[in-house]
Amino acid sequence: MFSFLSLSFFNYLLLLLLCFHLVNSSSTPTKIGNGYRLISLKETPDGGIGGLLQVKERNNIYGPDIPLLQLYVKHETQDRLRVRITDAEKQRWEVPYNLLPREQAPALKQTIGRSRKNLITTVQEYSGAELIFNYIADPFSFSVKRKSNGQTLFNSSSDGSSSFGVMVFKDQYLEISTQLPNDASLYGLGENTQPHGIKLFPGDPYTLYTTDISAINLNADLYGSHPVYMDLRNVKGQAYAHAVLLLNSNGMDVFYRGTSLTYKIIGGVFDFYFFSGPSPLAVVDQYTSLIGRPAAMPYWAFGFHQCRWGYHNLSVVEDVVENYKNAQIPLDVIWNDDDHMDGHKDFTLNPNNYPRPKLLAFLEKIHSIGMKYIVLIDPGIGVNSSYGVYQRGIANDVFIKYQGEPYLAQVWPGAVNFPDFLNPKTVEWWGDEIRRFHELVPVDGLWIDMNEASNFCSGLCKIPKDKQCPSGTGPGWDCCLDCKNITETRWDDPPYKINASGLQVPIGYKTIATSAVHYNGVLEYDAHSIYGFSQAIATHKALQGLEGKRPFILSRSTYVGSGKYAAHWTGDNKGTWEDLKYSISTMINFGIFGVPMVGSDICGFYPAPTEELCNRWIEVGAFYPFSRDHANYYSPRQELYQWESVAKSARNALGMRYKILPYLYTLNYEAHTTGAPIARPLFFSFPDYTECYGLSTQFLLGSSLMISPVLEQGKSQVKALFPPGSWYNMFDMTQSITSEGGQYVTLDAPLHVVNVHLYQNSILPMQQGGLISKEARMTPFTLLVSFPAGATDGKAAGKLFLDDDELQEMKLGSGSATYVDFYATVSEGTVKLWSEVQESKFALDKGWKIVKVTVLGLGGSGAPSSLEVDGKPVTGASNIELSSLEQKYITNLEVGDEKKKIMMVEVHGLEIPVGKNFAVSWKMGVSG
């Protein structure tokens, strides 16, 4: 929904703060601390090492130094190292272990108590299977190295020539840095809109603090906080990737200067996790094994979604569904923003515009054909004595407090209180409200918005006695409560000012006051950035308890681990060509963050896209993992059928999406079991190819399907990078591109064309598509096999996961899932294709059949022959046919001295059960 800060407001403040900000971010750093010395180091009972750090000399910039720190280091797995530093005498705020389960660090007395001997003089390093921890005792610093090649991955030592100082640890200011080689490519540190693309850019600000400002604001802290980065380095032609997570939920600035990276944090602890990789996929696997594997998504979630803030009544929604059907554009899910609510209040229905009997009849109609319905809920609960949700919330004491009373804020209903999802009673109450609402309206998922948390006011507020609030006129986001600033506490006005909202606004600005109190005395100051995360966990638990079905949740605010519970969209973007381009980088980042189900508002949220832009946006958005058109209340209608040209592009692009749904759903299973992103940067598949390290205008689905969209106005061609190997056009499989060392190729891309290419050595399971995923899912299968162009000796592989997507668990062993590995080879003129099925029953019961096989890139000429299926020759009496067609190169590139002739071979008329092992083979013709 619409953000509270406009771009013009930002520009105004930017003029006031620009000079100070530039000095603050780029000048020689002020000496804030004098460092620590390691005074003891001993083994811990759990196999780690622990010690004490003593401050060398105190100073009072940003407050006094904490005199004694506890160090704890452990190789938790063979590829994960933890380094934790905290106050040795007092417990400090950390991300709650019940929200993000992980190993508990040992208590202080276990770490430094009765251990046998001090290791400082005898041990300078602590080695694990893949990583080595080294330290310098005075002034204390540490480094992490890769065991295999000695490469330094992290080094906090300030050697005098560095652009940073020693480690600092104060109550409200923590600072630590690492040296970096200047050729390291860094990714992550979000959520923000990065104008320079997916690689972190030296000098750009990276502030992490969940904030409701529009995603059109560049280099600003947006809705999520993900203090993790991936570091990719190429050493003598070989790639090595690792990642660094600083598990801390407090506000922070991260300064990346190219050769160093500095964290400046306003609370919490240093709790570093290092992941050794060495491949990008291995890094994300290791990362999500700690923070939680991504949520299993239902099959229908990979269909197309339509939403708008401003569907004023049910008849409009009904018309939208009918118009999509009439335009023959696929649609799986229809959404309501807050239009269905009674006075913007959660868990209510407007009796006039969304009368329950008519809504239930509509839902019965769409549910009968497999369509779904999702609505929005905001965390703010309207303060209204006649509102049952509020009454029950007060009775159960579920709201965040300020000076003992529920903290008062303003969002769409007017005055609201915010549920405290750190309180177990709140989680129970929230679950009960969702259950009550589901009995009222059987929705298929929930959209949790405004959960940074967003507040239209700032400070300490009261409900005015002499005016209506809100007035019922105007945009609705103007603060109408009577408010005063809160500045008397060090929590509302901390000594170090992070670059909040990109402009160093107060950290309590337009959100919950940071001196407000959660359950057990936890300050909003500490817990702010996990608010949306805690709400997602509570919502997921509630939906799981409803009907035993797999939950679907879309959350705007996210934190480390949110992907285990929710999908994400990138918030309030703008209908501009720049925002279309930015959407790719943000989407790819969230795959690295462990939130693979992600997408941006197609055609832009506001103010209005051009017809040409909407054409191009659906050609990108059709391949977002989460694909949804969503528009603002004040924007013109932009459903895909509003322009015939856009409808044509949608039928084309979404038509392909619905054909590859089996592939997308299998990627969903991979994400759920290994963390692998669904949408990926090209370097995930080509880590040794440095040309793609900064590429932000193309992306991969899985390991082998490349999208190369038009992102500029007026263009009918696109210059696309093709990494080494052979690529095949998914819309015209006779077209191939082979690039020996990697090559930019200019592709034709008229208005209704998007370039999608399949990489060699792949087997892609496809179906015939349809207008609803339920219908598309029951159509026959085709297997698309790709070999290197002209292959006479090659291999290909693919996989397919099928299950009952209504079940909460997405796993084998339940009797409701089937997994198939596909393999193909070409050798000595013979092509073989076969499958290996695990747990065949589910697929066999569904009756799925493979009716066609298409093989691309085969060498040779003449007609293929000697077709066999399951070892039996196919005779003329069979309906099975074998055909071939010469493929063409669309570039002037040559393979060796001359172009090899390449063939596409198809086998039609098959009736192979997906759930049964099969083998198909034939011989390639030889030129006479």
Identify the pLDDT of residue 894: 47
DSSP structural state of residue 830: E
Catalytic residue among 212, 221, 338, 452: 452
User: What pLDDT is stored for residue 30 in this prediction?
Assistant: 64
Residues 440-458 have a mean pLDDT of: 98
For the residues 449-463, what does the mean pLDDT come to? 97
Regarding beta strands 553-555 and 567-569, do their DSSP bridges make them parallel or antiparallel, or are they unpaired? parallel
Identical fold, 299-668 and 701-925:
no
Bond from prior residue into 101 cis (ω within 30 degrees of 0): no
Task: Please indicate whether residue 572 is annotated as part of the active site.
Answer: yes
Q: What residues have CB less than 8 Å from 855, skipping those under 6 apart? A: 785, 786, 787, 824, 831, 833, 904, 905, 906
Q: Please report the pLDDT score of residue 17 as a whole number.
A: 42
- Topology (CATH) of 299-668: TIM Barrel (3.20.20)
Report, as an integer, the average pLDDT of 572-589.
97
Per-residue model confidence (pLDDT) at position 6: 43
The b/e string for 320-351 (b: 16+ C-beta within 10 A; e otherwise) is bbebbbebebbbbbbbbbbbbbbebbbbbbbe
With 80 as the cut, is the pLDDT of residue 5 above it? no
Least Cα distance to 433 among 422, 415, 446 occurs for 446
Note the pLDDT of residue 892.
Answer: 52
In sequence order, what are the residues at sequence separation of 6 or more whose Cβ sits closer than 8 angstroms to the Cβ of residue 288?
Answer: 294, 563, 594, 674, 675
Does the structure show a pLDDT above 90 at 13? no
Kindly give, in sequence order, each residue whose CB lies less than 8 Å from that of residue 161, ignoring residues fewer than 6 positions away: none
Three-state SS for 598-615 is EECEECCCECCCCHHHHH
Question: Among 333-347, 640-654, 894-908, which is the least confidently predicted range?
Answer: 894-908
**Mean local confidence (pLDDT), 713-721:** 98
Question: What DSSP string runs through 271-302?
Answer: EEEEE--SSHHHHHHHHHHHH-PPPPPPGGGG
Q: Is 128 helix (H, G, I), strand (E, B) or coil?
A: coil
Closest by Cα among 606, 586, 629, 577 to 188: 586
- Known catalytic residue at 482: no
Where are the chain's structural domains? 35-191+227-278, 299-668, 701-925
pLDDT at 515: 97
**pLDDT band, residue 21 (cuts 50/70/90):** very low
Per-residue confidence at 120, pLDDT binned at 50, 70, 90? Answer: confident
pLDDT score, position 487: 77
Query: Quick one: pLDDT at residue 163?
Result: 79
Is residue 619 part of the annotated active site? The answer reads: no
> Contact at 8 Å (CB) between 721 and 739?
no
**What distance in Å separates the CA atoms of residue 304 and residue 311, rounded to the nearest whole number?**
18
Ramachandran angles phi, psi of 486, nearest 5°: -110, 110
CATH of 35-191+227-278, one of 3.40.50.300, 2.60.40.1760, 2.40.70.10, 3.40.710.10: 2.60.40.1760
Q: Give me the DSSP letters along 146-201.
A: ETTT--EEEE----SSSSS---EEBSS-EEEEEE--TT-EEEEEES-B-TT-SS--
Average pLDDT over residues 88-117: 83
From the list 572, 579, 670, 839, the catalytic residue is: 572
CA nearest to 239, candidates 247, 230, 248: 230
Asked whether the predicted pLDDT for residue 418 surpasses 50, the reply is yes
Residue 140's pLDDT band (cuts 50, 70, 90): very high
- Of all residues in the chain, the percent with pLDDT exceeding 90 is 88
- In the predicted model, what is the mean pLDDT of the chain? 93
pLDDT over threshold 50, residue 28? no
- Give the helix ranges, DSSP H, for 211-355: 280-291, 314-327
Q: What is the pLDDT of residue 4?
A: 44
For the beta sheet containing 152-155, the strands, ordered from the edge strand earlier in sequence to the opposite edge, are 125-127, 131-136, 141-146, 152-155
Mean pLDDT of the 427-454 span: 98
What pLDDT digit, counting tens, does each position of 651-670 carry?
A: 999 999 999 999 999 999 99
Taking alpha carbons only, the member of 529, 495, 486 closest to residue 251 is: 529
Task: For residue 1, name the pLDDT band (cuts at 50, 70, 90).
Answer: low
pLDDT at 472: 76
CATH superfamily entry for domain 701-925: Golgi alpha-mannosidase II (2.60.40.1180)
* pLDDT reading at 921 higher than 80: yes
Percent of the chain's residues with pLDDT above 70: 94
Q: Is the pLDDT of residue 11 over 50?
A: no
pLDDT digits (tens, 9 = 90+) for 325-373: 999 999 999 999 999 999 999 999 999 999 999 999 999 999 999 999 9
The tens digit of pLDDT for each residue in 864-896 reads: 999 999 999 998 888 999 999 999 988 754 444
Helix (H, G, I), strand (E, B) or coil at 73: strand
- The reported pLDDT for the residue numbered 124 is 87
- The torsion angle over the Cα atoms of residues 614, 616, 622 and 626, rounded to 10 degrees, is -60
Confidence of residue 202 (pLDDT cuts 50, 70, 90): very high
